Amino acid sequence: MKNALKTPIRYLKGVGPKRSEELSRLGIETVEDVLYYLPARYEDRSKFTPIKDLKIGEYQTIQGEVITLSSRLARTRMPIFQIAVTDQTGIVHAIWFNQPYLKDYFRRGQKVILYGKVEKYDKLQVVQPEYEIVAEDEADSINIGRIVPVYPATTHLTQRHLRSLSHQVISQYTRYLIERLPTYLLAREKVVDIKFAIRNIHFPTTFANLEKAYRRIVFEEFFMLQLALALKKKDIKFKEEGLSHKVAGELLDSFKKALPFELTEGQKKAISDIERDMSSARPMNRLLEGDVGSGKTVVAAHALVLTIQNGFQGVLMAPTEVLARQHFIVLSELCMPLGINIVLLIGGIDPKTKKSLYSDIKEGKVSVVVGTHAVIQEGLEFKALGLAIIDEQHKFGVTQRSMLKQKGYSPHILVMTATPIPRTLALTVYGDLDISIIKELPKGRKPIATYWVEEEKREDVYNFIKEELNKGRQAYVVCPLITNSQVIPRLRSAQASHPSASLGTGKSQSAVEMYEKLKTEVFSGYEVGLLHGRMSSNEKEKVMRDFKKSKIKVLVSTIVIEVGIDVPNATIMLIENAEKFGLAQLHQLRGRIGRGDHESYCILLANPKTEEASRRLKAIEGTLDGFQIAEVDLNIRGPGEFFGTRQHGLPEIRFGNILKDFGIMELARKEAFSLVARDPNFREEHHRLLKEGLLYRFKGRLDLINVA
């Protein structure tokens, strides 16, 4: 037989045209698809919990006999169907809403299996449980008396159908599975072979075997992914000639001497990573991760000075004009005393100036260009670009690095991000970048006290803010909306997945209305300002200047202040409807305060309606550590949503869970990278099937699997 695993399922016993259509809706076309259609969970039907021993509040499997059935309408006219089930030790009621057809499905005296959360009101019940009717006479060896798989199903395919299909396919086709992983790997990592794994992932003989089967399947999936990443990284590193830099030199010495502070350990480590990369013969490809305020800019400046010392130019790309300006100011302060010529390049400069800037850059009269990436894209040419720094990379999307390459440069590349990316994700999403992490904030920072308070305390909050204003401090008041008539915005990507669930339906505060109220009533004795995204750049700039000069005491705004504003005297942040913001947003917002010598306070006003929103608020209240917050965020939203829907860097993962199975990911990565280091072209015979599998899985997308 050519490839038995590709046999279409309609050739199987008991699968007619109708059922095969249903199955194809689940993505099942061939025998192989059946083998890899993994159960969502398992039930231990070798023993059932007696009804009298059921634990309230837990998901459990119940077996019993139907004793009564009843249908009725709720006051809302919703049909309710209910059965009572007994196993001689007790009675439990199963209730379904809106499924009136179930009354034709169940009969008195039937044996049933129910799975759901057990609750107790006046009686013991399970609401909307999964259900299965046990065959009456046959010795039902697939469905009972063992650990049973429960598959993701559709309404038209019952568990029994799916189970008998997979049982049939496993007994007939498992022997055609080919082991792709080399034997030495199976032995070294104690990974079971593929036949054992597939058999036991569907019909495990014990939970221990299930565990082994799962580990094997996830290991293979992660291993393939990491092989692809390793190949990609190797490509970047070896194909291109790097611009090998000399680290020792006067310019860098003077730069270091002029620094007004002692570097933190994280900064020192990042700098030494960067120096090592830039002095090697391959181009650097490094991600610099550090929370807001961790001091990434100095590290970037250090790298810029290094490239300039070696006769090259540097460019820094920021996601917004505001940020570009700010970088320009900071870098100018650090670089200009050293005689380094640095320019700002943003939209809206007049054509003549632009033209002369361009020619200065091309002739090498300019050493550092700071701008937004849009400006840099337009036909800008360098004399000798040595280093490209991309700030806040996740906000850009995906194309910067390849864009630079298309220009024919192989500069060193440093990507900076303030989104603390948990290690779990970094290994997959940024798997082809080297990573430096700055964990700690510079010494002497005052921690920010964060309080979550409910609406009822609003007056107290205002009084507290007034006390601080009277001490000379300034405050931010952040609202989720610009005006009341505005539709609730997609607060960036933060809750894109559950807009209705987590955003709630309560009234939202808007910046414009809040501004009116605070200016005329609450803070009438103080200067109040307004800032939002619909104002012109000029207006915004004026407001920001006045706030910085402390002319404005209370700044009411939308999340436009999320990035890049630095006013050390602003020590209070009041966030309205804090439940409507994502965790990452709250964290970034809070990073605007705590920048000076005074105590800072972040107050979250929120009456959250969902459990998830409360978890977010508690997380923000409970820690200042961006990495910890990111982990919580990742756990609440899951990897797919973590970066928002616009992020396409995340490879599809079908079987494993990159959070839960992080240990397997690390193992797979270690093995994959060492394999690629030893046998980069997969020439060794025991790697032949792996290569085939890789090409099959990524089908020419090898350079696309990680486009971040």
Q: Which residue lies nearest ligand ADP, judged by its C-beta?
A: 295
What number of chain residues touch ligand ADP (CB under 6 A)?
15
**Who's near 150: CB < 8 A, 6+ residues apart?**
39, 40, 41, 42, 43, 115, 130, 159
Q: Is 260 exposed, middle or buried (0-12, 13-18, 19+ CB in 10 A)?
A: exposed
* C-alpha span between 297 and 334 (Å, rounded): 10
H runs (alpha helix) in 280-348: 296-309, 321-335
Q: Residue 261 or residue 696: which is nearer to ligand ADP going by CB?
A: 261
318 binds ligand ADP (CB under 6 A): no
H runs (alpha helix) in 310-437: 321-335, 351-363, 373-377, 400-406, 423-429
CB 345 within 8 A of CB 371: yes
H/E element, 187: helix 183-188
Q: Residue 17 or residue 260: which is nearer to ligand ADP going by CB?
A: 260
Helix (H/G/I), strand (E/B), else coil: 124 = strand
Q: Residue 263 or residue 491: which is nearer to ligand ADP going by CB?
A: 263
User: Tell me, what amino acid is at 171?
Assistant: S
Calculate the dihedral angle through the C-alpha atoms of 583, 588, 590, 593, rounding to the nearest 10 degrees: 170
Q: How far is the CB of 308 from ligand ADP (least distance, A)?
A: 19
Q: Residue 294 or residue 706: which is nearer to ligand ADP going by CB?
A: 294
- Beta bridge partner(s), residue 575: 478, 604
Q: Residue 270 or residue 503: which is nearer to ligand ADP going by CB?
A: 270
Joined tokens for residue 3:
């490839």
Q: How far is the CB of 644 from ligand ADP (least distance, A)?
A: 21
Q: How far is the CB of 492 from ligand ADP (least distance, A)?
A: 18
Q: Is the dihedral of CA 353, 358, 362, 364 positive or negative?
A: positive
User: Tell me, what amino acid is at 366?
Assistant: V
User: Of 221-229, 255-263, 367-375, 554-562, which segment contacts ligand ADP by CB under 6 A?
Assistant: 255-263
* C-alpha span between 82 and 99 (Å, rounded): 10
Q: How far is the CB of 560 from ligand ADP (least distance, A)?
A: 17
User: Of 162-170, 215-223, 256-264, 450-458, which segment contacts ligand ADP by CB under 6 A?
Assistant: 256-264
Q: How far is the CB of 687 from ligand ADP (least distance, A)?
A: 42
Q: How far is the CB of 296 from ligand ADP (least distance, A)?
A: 3
* C-alpha span between 478 and 565 (Å, rounded): 14
Q: Residue 258 or residue 695: which is nearer to ligand ADP going by CB?
A: 258
Q: Residue 249 or residue 442: which is nearer to ligand ADP going by CB?
A: 442
Q: How far is the CB of 597 from ligand ADP (least distance, A)?
A: 12
261 binds ligand ADP (CB under 6 A): yes
Q: Terminus-to-terminus CA distance in the chain, angstroms?
A: 42
Which 478-537 residues touch ligand ADP, going by CB under 6 A?
Answer: none
The DSSP letter of residue 30 is: B
Helix orientation angle between 296-309 and 250-258, rounded to the nearest 10 degrees: 160
Q: Residue 626 or residue 656: which is nearer to ligand ADP going by CB?
A: 626
**Who's near 41: CB < 8 A, 6+ residues apart?**
150
* C-alpha span between 361 and 338 (Å, rounded): 19
Q: How far is the CB of 273 from ligand ADP (least distance, A)?
A: 16
Q: How far is the CB of 437 from ligand ADP (least distance, A)?
A: 12
Q: How far is the CB of 561 from ligand ADP (least distance, A)?
A: 14
For tokens 């169907």, name the residue. 81
Q: How far is the CB of 445 from ligand ADP (least distance, A)?
A: 8
For tokens 């209910």, name the residue. 82
Binding mask 212-251 for ligand ADP (x = CB under 6 A): ----------------------------------------
Longest dimension (CA), the chain: 91
Q: Residue 263 or residue 522: which is nearer to ligand ADP going by CB?
A: 263
CB 307 within 8 A of CB 245: yes
For tokens 């099942």, name the residue. 28
Binding mask 416-445 for ligand ADP (x = CB under 6 A): --x-----------------------x---
Q: Residue 290 or residue 651: which is nearer to ligand ADP going by CB?
A: 290
How far is CA 239 from each of CA 112, 233, 236, 410, rounded to the nearest angstrom? 63, 10, 6, 10
Helix (H/G/I), strand (E/B), else coil: 478 = strand
Binding mask 90-119 for ligand ADP (x = CB under 6 A): ------------------------------
For ligand ADP, the binding residue among 60, 63, 166, 264 (CB under 6 A) is 264
Q: Residue 262 or residue 652: which is nearer to ligand ADP going by CB?
A: 262
Binding mask 52-81 for ligand ADP (x = CB under 6 A): ------------------------------
User: Tell me, what amino acid is at 361?
Assistant: I
* C-alpha span between 419 and 429 (Å, rounded): 13
Binding mask 391-420 for ligand ADP (x = CB under 6 A): ---------------------------x--
Q: Residue 267 or residue 558: which is nearer to ligand ADP going by CB?
A: 267
Q: Residue 371 or residue 504: which is nearer to ligand ADP going by CB?
A: 371
Q: Residue 50 or residue 442: which is nearer to ligand ADP going by CB?
A: 442
Q: How far is the CB of 360 from ligand ADP (least distance, A)?
A: 27
CB 475 within 8 A of CB 548: no
User: Of 71-79, 90-98, 103-111, 261-269, which segment contacts ligand ADP by CB under 6 A?
Assistant: 261-269
For ligand ADP, the binding residue among 84, 263, 584, 613 (CB under 6 A) is 263
CB 595 within 8 A of CB 567: yes
Provide the pairing of β-strand 59-73 with 79-86. Answer: antiparallel
User: Of 84-92, 258-266, 377-385, 658-666, which segment contacts ligand ADP by CB under 6 A?
Assistant: 258-266
Q: Residue 588 or residue 706: which is nearer to ligand ADP going by CB?
A: 588
Q: How far is the CB of 396 from ligand ADP (least distance, A)?
A: 16
CB atoms under 10 Å from CB of 232, counted, come to 18
Q: Residue 32 or residue 391: which is nearer to ligand ADP going by CB?
A: 391
* Phi/psi at 570 (5° precision): -85, 110
266 binds ligand ADP (CB under 6 A): no
* C-alpha span between 226 and 651 (Å, rounded): 11
Q: How far is the CB of 92 from ligand ADP (least distance, A)?
A: 56
Which 281-300 residues touch ligand ADP, going by CB under 6 A?
Answer: 290, 292-298
Q: Which residues bind ligand ADP (CB under 6 A)?
A: 261-264, 267, 290, 292-298, 418, 442
